[in-house]
Structure 1
């Protein structure tokens, strides 16, 4: 019998689909240049082409943050630490606690 770890298949869950949509939305919205390549409506004298792209910078930041938070939630429900990928059952934690005076292990 081999001691090599077995590869696990990734499971597609609704949460992971939401993460993928959050990360893909800015690409889809900005790759269709023909849909926003125009001057009107201008916002404070700035043509639509420019302010639409700048709006997507902010929207992309929010969507990326949302995807990260959803990924953390997914990792917690899977029973693994979001940082190291190790199981909580292993008992190895590098987080500082009140018991050890706040010092990291």
Structure 2
């Protein structure tokens, strides 16, 4: 096996991928459920609920995606470290 054929990452654990997938699905699906928020009241600073709810999801989605990114980065580092430790032995 040449150096090009050697793996760069260890085996993946499904947990982080499932959690990230759920977080991303929430960020995508919730704003698509328009009948849930297609109303005028409650008004926030003169802005109808329909508009400020959508704007709120911009911030919630970016937070969920940031959490998902951190989870996946940690998993990738764990997988890479596993291969490095295996080569040292």
Whether the TM-score (by the shorter chain) exceeds 0.5 is: yes
* Pair member with larger Rg: 1
Q: Which has the higher contact order (CA 8 A, sep 6+)?
A: 2
Q: Tell me, in whole angstroms, the C-alpha distance in 2 between the residues paired with 1:28 and 1:45.
A: 27
Q: Higher helix share goes to which structure?
A: 2
Could you state the TM-score of these two structures normalised by the residue count of structure 1? 0.64
Alignment of 1:41-80 (within 5 A): 41-78=42-79, 80=80
Q: Tell me, in whole angstroms, the C-alpha distance in 1 between the residues paired with 2:13 and 2:38.
A: 36
Alignment of 1:22-37 (within 5 A): 22-37=23-38
Could you state the TM-score of these two structures normalised by the residue count of structure 2? 0.74
Question: What stretches of structure 1 move > 6 A for 4+ residues in a row?
Answer: none
Q: Tell me, in whole angstroms, the C-alpha distance in 2 between the residues paired with 1:53 and 1:75.
A: 32
Alpha-carbon shift at residue 88 of structure 1 (Å): 3.9
* Gap runs ≥5 in structure 2: 6-10
Cα root mean square deviation, aligned? 2.7
CA shift in 2, pair 1:17/1:66, >3 Å: same
